[in-house]
Amino acid sequence: MAVRILVIDSDPTVQRALGNALSQAGFDVLPTATAQEGLRVAHSDRPALVLVAGNLPGVDGYAFVGQLRMQDGPSTHTPVIVLLGEAEGEGRGKALRAGADDYLMKPFHPAELMARMRSLLARYQPDEKFVPPPRANVIPASSAPAAPAATHQAPRGPKEPARVVVFYGSKGGVGTTTIAINAAIALHKEMGKRVCLVDANLQFGDHRVFLDLGLDRMSIVDLSTAPSFDLELIKHVLVKHESGIDLLLAPPSPETAELVTNEHLPQIVEMLESEYDYIVIDVDKRLDEVNLRIMDVAQAIYVVMTADLPCLKNVRLVLETISHLGYADNKVKLILNRSNAFTGINVKNAESALKRRIDHQIINEYRTAIGALNSGAPFMYTKSDSVLGKNLLDFIKAMDKELDALPARA
């Protein structure tokens, strides 16, 4: 018997689009247009999951959720996803406070909807069979034509496991995220590599800001909170950037970071390594168990620094700690960012203080870097022919070559 999904939306266009997508995925759709009718169907037909619009006429979707929770009683929980219009940003908190399990902002892609449904069905309806979704168009926000669906980078058949590289900031503000994002784009755009970029700064990840993405995009929390996940679900959670790279975003808020354990990212990397040429991971400056587990699975760790005394102090401590933890010396590479900025400490002085060679240098071109940040368009995507873009591409080519000499991941 097909899994029953109750859909409550007064917009006939959205109702029809949802019905088609769900039916093609093998679900039995129960369509209604009002909250009152939805409550009656929920009581009589016992759907496995409910999709309800927030802006229903009369009794709205938020009130429906509250009434459904009372109707369910203490021994039953019908999972609910609230569908919000583009102008209903404030409804996200309202939906969750009303008792909804999740929300989606219209327009959204069916793959995103199916991934969230799958997670909830696995949690609350483990005996129900989930049918994987077909490729389809975006569910529209209104009667406007649906946007074409984005596709992920196509597999190319059997290949070596992905090269996993970590960019680690020795302190805040040294440019680690800028380098990681633009390195990932350069690897794909300039060198033709299949790339997945992971924002592993779990509390304060900035990839949404740097890439002009909203908080409604899926993140690693959608995987960590699922009862289990596989490659198919990971692909649904990944966000496709217009540059061609795939993104695994950090949690949307600091308080949800604790939902990600030190086991999750290594498992995700292992599942993704057959799909990509490179997995680029941007981590924060903490050397906690989460970051160390990420470093364990990396082929190389690129420590980003600038030529100032606080940063040199941090880098020296990081190098000592990493050495004590048993990492091979050639696994750790130093990147001097803003190498031509005047700080009173030149490259030779920095190398003398650290008692090791600085492996790579990236120049300071403030106008290009800050312009890219403020516009949400990375310079390797929009200004790859800039002086900074050419310099970073030289670094990427050198990195790709030096990884040939390093042992592959075990």
Residue 107 sits in the same domain as residue 212 = no
Residue 218 sits in the same domain as residue 364 = yes
Q: How confident is the model at residue 355 (pLDDT cuts 50, 70, 90)?
A: very high
Give the chain's mean pLDDT: 86
Q: Which of 74, 94, 124 is the last residue of a domain?
A: 124
pLDDT digits (tens, 9 = 90+) for 324-336: 888 988 999 999 9
Name the residue with tokens 């899926």. 218
Is 135 domain-assigned?
A: no
Residue 269 sits in the same domain as residue 389 = yes
CATH code for the domain in which residue 106 is found: 3.40.50.2300
Residue 184 sits in the same domain as residue 105 = no
Q: What does the pLDDT read at residue 359?
A: 95
Among the ranges 138-152, 184-198, 365-379, which has the highest mean pLDDT value? 184-198
Residue 180 sits in the same domain as residue 319 = yes
Query: With contact defined as beta carbons under 8 Å apart, do 395 and 335 qualify?
Result: yes
Residue 93 sits in the same domain as residue 205 = no
pLDDT digits (tens, 9 = 90+) for 164-216: 999 999 888 899 999 999 999 999 999 999 999 999 999 999 999 899 887 77
Q: E strands along 259-366, which residues? A: 278-283, 300-305, 332-337, 360-362
Spatial distance between the Cα atoms of 359 and 303, rounded to a whole number of angstroms = 10
Is 148 domain-assigned?
A: no
Residue 333 sits in the same domain as residue 265 = yes
pLDDT of residue 44 exceeding 90, the answer is: yes
Average pLDDT over residues 139-167: 58
Is 259 domain-assigned?
A: yes
Is 77 domain-assigned?
A: yes
User: Which domain covers residue 46, as residue numbers?
Assistant: 4-124
Residue 274 sits in the same domain as residue 393 = yes
Residue 295 sits in the same domain as residue 362 = yes
Is 14 domain-assigned?
A: yes
Q: How confident is the model at residue 1 (pLDDT cuts 50, 70, 90)?
A: low
Q: How confident is the model at residue 293 (pLDDT cuts 50, 70, 90)?
A: very high
Is 158 domain-assigned?
A: no
pLDDT digits (tens, 9 = 90+) for 89-128: 778 888 888 899 888 888 777 777 887 888 788 777 655 5
Strand order in the sheet with 239-240: 239-240, 246-248, 195-199, 278-283, 163-169, 300-305, 332-337, 360-362
CATH code for the domain in which residue 367 is found: 3.40.50.300
Q: What does the pLDDT read at residue 132?
A: 42
